[in-house]
Amino acid sequence: MSDLDRVLAAVDADLDAAIARLFDFLRIPSISTDRAYAAECRRAGQWLVDDLAGLGLTATLNDTPGHPVVTARSEGGAGKRVLFYGHYDVQPVDPLNLWDNPPFEPTLIEGPNGAKRIVARGSSDDKGQVMTFVEACRAYLKVTGALPVDVTFLVEGEEESGSGNLPPFLAANKEGLKADIALVCDTSMWDRQTPAITISLRGLMHDEIVITCANRDLHSGYYGGAAANPLHVLSKIIASVHGADGHIAIPGFYDGVTEPPDAVKAQWASLGLTPESFLGPIGLTTPIGEAGRSLVEMTTSRPTFEVNGMWGGYIGEGGKTVIPSIATAKITCRLVAGQDPIHVRDAVRAFIRAQLPPDAKVEFLSGDGSPAVAVSHDNPNLARAAAALEGEWGTPAVTIGGGGSIPIVGHFKKTLDQDTLLIGFALDDDRIHSPNEKYDLTSFHKGIRSWVRVLAALAD
């Protein structure tokens, strides 16, 4: 029997005890957004420090201006090191009356689909996910006395309240946190059978466009028909951004954008994401992205131009016959790997300036951003982790991008110069942030086994 098989067997044998440990962790109401729970947050952090110290790791509860950060290190001298990130804080529980059981009294019940589930606030987001990794380490250490790769834990207590103290903590502890790759366990499976690795997150460029025409609001009777209206000007500009084929018409906008490997695109196409399944729940039927692109591409590997807010003139009750002086739009562009936020910003601005009619002036009030973060499809750690997950689930792992940004991943890249693989075992029906949050027992059990396999694979 190989070391790996023995460790996996130990995971199976220890499952009840692992559940009991998670329940202890879940009983601590570590709600980070409510100052009344500050002591409970600290207690949750200390619980985790104690548990990790019990494994023989050097574990520390690090004070910050907010809730403390848990760090722990193994020092096996394995040569390779991974940084594991998660969070011990949880969302508030209101409305309490919608919970079938008290949110901090975890229960193991059978769900309507016949699958056993752990129900409690934090069961999925993120204590249950954090403990999959902790239990994997525990099993390895128990069976083999060592970890196949060295591990640094970074588990914060403010993820649900903005992670405000984490970037300075990273900056102040760069050296101690440096690793070969970061692993984040705070995401979902693709579906119940299919594991997923998120390897890219779109970046963001934000700007605010202010168009001014006349030097004051005008009476639309006296000047109407002769005087320029900045809402008309701004509408024409916004209308010109997207062609009928959904392509963004701004020269230079796509500079640097590359295509994912054909194999990856083929995998995305095979996922069967449909307008019905993706857009149906939000009341829509028709993707508006570039013609010929799949929904996965539109939302993860292609950049966007979005007006998030727009206003001008009279927007109160009733009417006012005014030609406004000023019209404003707040825009954001989701960026993909290869795009430079400032280059995109300047392309957008040049495109707008080139379209201004004689009497319209433009000001830009914001104009900053952060690039996309992405692990190369060629990264050997990605292939190792994907193979490990397939070994556990029997289905190839999907390699996807995230449409939005997860700031911590950007900070790992920027501050620690470190790539991240996001691997999680949550499911779409976990009701995170809602009453009756749950984590499937399968997610927990096979999640632990998955990490055992990933840790082994990364050592290669």
- Enumerate residues 256-285 that contact a copy of itself by CB under 8 A: 278-279, 282-285
For residue 69, which amino acid is it?
V
87 strand-pairing partners: 156
∠ Cα 150 156 161 (to 5°): 155
If one asks whether residue 384 binds a copy of itself (CB under 8 A), the answer comes out as no
If one asks whether residue 330 binds a copy of itself (CB under 8 A), the answer comes out as yes
If one asks whether residue 320 binds a copy of itself (CB under 8 A), the answer comes out as yes
Residue among 379, 383, 370 nearest 415 (CA): 370
Residues in 199-228 that interact with a copy of itself by CB under 8 A:
202, 204, 206, 208, 213-216, 218-228
Residues in 36-95 that interact with a copy of itself by CB under 8 A:
none
Report whether 400 contacts 298 (CB < 8 A): no
Q: Between 280 and 380, whose beta carbon lies closer to a copy of itself? A: 280
Q: How far apart are CA 306 and CA 209, in angstroms?
A: 12
Q: Is 423 helix (H, G, I), strand (E, B) or coil?
A: strand
Question: How would you classify the pairing of strands 150-156 and 69-73?
Answer: antiparallel
- Min dist CB 174 to a copy of itself, Å, is 28
Residues in 7-26 that interact with a copy of itself by CB under 8 A:
none
Q: Quick one: CA torsion of 117, 119, 122, 124, rounded to 10 degrees?
A: 20
If one asks whether residue 187 binds a copy of itself (CB under 8 A), the answer comes out as no
Of the candidate spans 53-61, 149-157, 250-258, 306-314, the one that interacts with a copy of itself by CB under 8 A turns out to be 306-314
Q: Between 164 and 357, whose beta carbon lies closer to a copy of itself? A: 357
Report whether 330 contacts 310 (CB < 8 A): yes
DSSP 300: I
Q: Which of 78, 322, 356, 459 binds a copy of itself (CB under 8 A)?
A: 322
Strand 107-110: give its sheet, edge to edge. 107-110, 116-119, 438-440
If one asks whether residue 399 binds a copy of itself (CB under 8 A), the answer comes out as no
- Min dist CB 134 to a copy of itself, Å, is 29
Q: Which of 81, 87, 138, 334 binds a copy of itself (CB under 8 A)?
A: 334
Q: Which of 167, 256, 391, 403 binds a copy of itself (CB under 8 A)?
A: 403
If one asks whether residue 339 binds a copy of itself (CB under 8 A), the answer comes out as no
